[in-house]
Amino acid sequence: MNFISTIKLVFRTLRARKGRSFLTILGIVIGVAGVIIIIALGAGAQSLILGQVTKFGSNLLSVQPGKSDETGPPAQVFGVVVTTLTSEDAEAIRDASRLPDIVAVNAVVNGITTVTWENREIDTNFVGTEHTYPMTTSFEMQVGSFFDERQDRANANVAVLGWAVYEQLFSESGRNPLGEVIKVKTGASAGIPLRVVGVISERGSAFFQNQDDQIFLPLDIAQKQLLGIRHLQMINIKVNNTDNMESTRDEIKQLLYERHRIKNEVDEDFTVRNIADAISLLTTITGALRIFLTSMAAMAMVVGGVGILNVMLVTVAERTREIGLRKAVGANNAAVRNQFLFEAGTLTFIGGVLGIILGILISYLAAILMDRLGYDWAFVISLTSILLAVGVSILTGIIFGLYPAYKAAKLDPIQALRAE
């Protein structure tokens, strides 16, 4: 029997057993789709994480209250209130005579507030910071400007709006927000009037936080009037060159050791991190997630392969007389073996193609969803991932089809013809 005849016979056999073929193919579809989705999501996550470097810069350090290990987050991430970082610490770090490689420093506190303007009221995030904030963070102003040093030093009642806050409060009215007075309040305040001096252009999300859904106001107002605290939640530091990051980091640690009277690392009450640490942590998390999802996809492929094995064994048992007849008219063991291997390979190839289509579709929908949520998520489907998925599916068919094909090839034609 030639190759074309074998192909025709295989497809005729698969059509005759549609239900069984569908269930067999389904396991392969799920496994291959999983491989495509995992590779696409991994590439999208990598693109997102690397994009944070562009937004924040690679020469940033941050100091947070509370000690952490080398890879874990500081204690305040888990809701623990740590009050060891103060504005005086920020001023000491800002001292150019002690730390000459630092370009800018800004202290930060944040929280959730209710903002009202005329008859509109929204809940949003607030960031209490200093006039140096634009020097440590990359963004553009849509209208107006960030509050300046004079307004910062005077604790002026001014605010800068994120794009989402502006849209929710002012876009429908068509009013120019500059000069308008909004009121912000928390549980600790009855309502503080703030004059809008600027609106930041749309920025999207960074590190899984919507940067547009927030307002900015002078640090002292946020600390004392909104939060009722004196400590800081973070100090952001921009270094003049990435080559000086480690040395500056060590100098900051030494300075805070002296200020906080710390003798050794065990007693540390702060954490100094650079942007690379944050990216490394996110990469570790996404890497672990990819390994977990890959194992799930591999299990689906194994389940699909076992399904192939079982189906092919049943097929050999059902077609014993057919195999005997073929061998009686001259088919050799290799021809019988190849036919059954080809059937198994065809099942997995069809499953692989359908799995690729399903995987690409789900990956595309996931990319659209992430984009609408404000994340700079890239839809990446590489030729390598497609070839890998096809190769794995065909290999699965061959591996799990070997034993049934070998068993069919070894049947004795006389005994096979006697089978009921």
pLDDT tens per residue across span 364-397: 998 888 877 767 777 878 787 788 778 888 888 8
Residue at which a domain ends, from 268, 300, 317: 268
Say if residue 10 is in the same domain as residue 154: no
Q: Where are the alpha helices (DSSP H) in 58-108?
A: 87-94
Q: Does the pLDDT value for residue 83 go beyond 70?
A: yes
Separation in Å, CA 411 to CA 134, 238, 339, 418: 79, 76, 14, 12
* Tokens matching residue 261: 């009277």
* Tokens matching residue 192: 């503080």
Tell me the pLDDT band of 100, cut-offs 50, 70 and 90: confident
The DSSP bridge partners found for residue 105 are: 237
pLDDT in tens, 221-235: 999 999 889 899 999
Residue 68 falls inside a structural domain: no
* Tokens matching residue 102: 């630092």
Residue 62 falls inside a structural domain: no
Residue with tokens 């100098």: 251
Answer yes or no: are the C-beta atoms of 416 and 327 closer than 8 Å: yes
Residue 72 falls inside a structural domain: no
pTM confidence score: 0.63
Say if residue 258 is in the same domain as residue 389: no
Average pLDDT over residues 345-359: 86
Residue 75 falls inside a structural domain: no
Residue 90 falls inside a structural domain: yes
pLDDT in tens, 88-98: 999 999 887 78
- Domain residues for the domain of 212 are 83-268
Q: Name the residue type at position 45.
A: A
The DSSP bridge partners found for residue 272 are: 63
Q: Which of 201, 133, 217 has the alpha carbon at shortest distance from 164? A: 201
Q: Does the pLDDT value for residue 338 go beyond 90?
A: no
Specify the pairing of strand 214-218 against strand 120-129. parallel
Say if residue 287 is in the same domain as residue 263: no
pLDDT score of 289? 73
The DSSP bridge partners found for residue 270 are: 65
Cβ atoms within 10 Å, residue 258: 10
Separation in Å, CA 213 to CA 113, 123, 197, 278, 334: 11, 9, 17, 22, 68
Residue 77 falls inside a structural domain: no
Say if residue 134 is in the same domain as residue 20: no
Cα 4 to chain centroid distance, Å, stands at 47
pLDDT in tens, 43-65: 787 777 666 655 666 688 989 99
pLDDT in tens, 104-155: 999 999 999 999 998 899 999 999 999 999 998 888 999 999 999 999 999 9
Say if residue 225 is in the same domain as residue 155: yes
pLDDT score of 211? 85
Say if residue 193 is in the same domain as residue 142: yes
Say if residue 325 is in the same domain as residue 403: yes
Residue at which a domain ends, from 268, 291, 324: 268
pLDDT in tens, 273-322: 887 676 676 677 777 777 777 777 777 778 778 877 887 787 777 777 77
Residue 129 falls inside a structural domain: yes
Mean pLDDT, the chain, integer: 82
Say if residue 89 is in the same domain as residue 201: yes
Q: Does the pLDDT value for residue 170 go beyond 80?
A: yes
pLDDT score of 113? 92
Residue with tokens 């025709």: 8
pLDDT score of 419? 59
Say if residue 192 is in the same domain as residue 330: no
Map residue 132 onto helix, strand or coil.
coil
Residue 294 falls inside a structural domain: yes
Residue at which a domain ends, from 268, 289, 313: 268
User: Rounded to 10 degrees, what is the CA torsion of 51, 55, 59, 64?
Assistant: -100
Q: Name the residue type at position 118.
A: E
Cα-Cα-Cα-Cα dihedral sign, residues 118, 120, 123, 127 = negative
Give the number of domains in the chain.
Answer: 2
Tell me the pLDDT band of 348, cut-offs 50, 70 and 90: confident
- Report the C-alpha gap between 233 and 55 in whole angstroms: 21
Cα 267 to chain centroid distance, Å, stands at 34
Cβ atoms within 10 Å, residue 115: 21
Average pLDDT over residues 68-91: 70
Q: Does the pLDDT value for residue 399 go beyond 80?
A: yes
Tell me the pLDDT band of 7, cut-offs 50, 70 and 90: low
* Tokens matching residue 263: 């003798």
User: Rounded to 10 degrees, what is the CA torsion of 334, 335, 340, 343?
Assistant: 130
Say if residue 153 is in the same domain as residue 224: yes
- Report the C-alpha gap between 293 and 110 in whole angstroms: 35
Say if residue 159 is in the same domain as residue 217: yes
Q: Which residue has the higher pLDDT, 16 or 163?
A: 163
Say if residue 185 is in the same domain as residue 284: no
pLDDT in tens, 243-253: 888 899 999 99
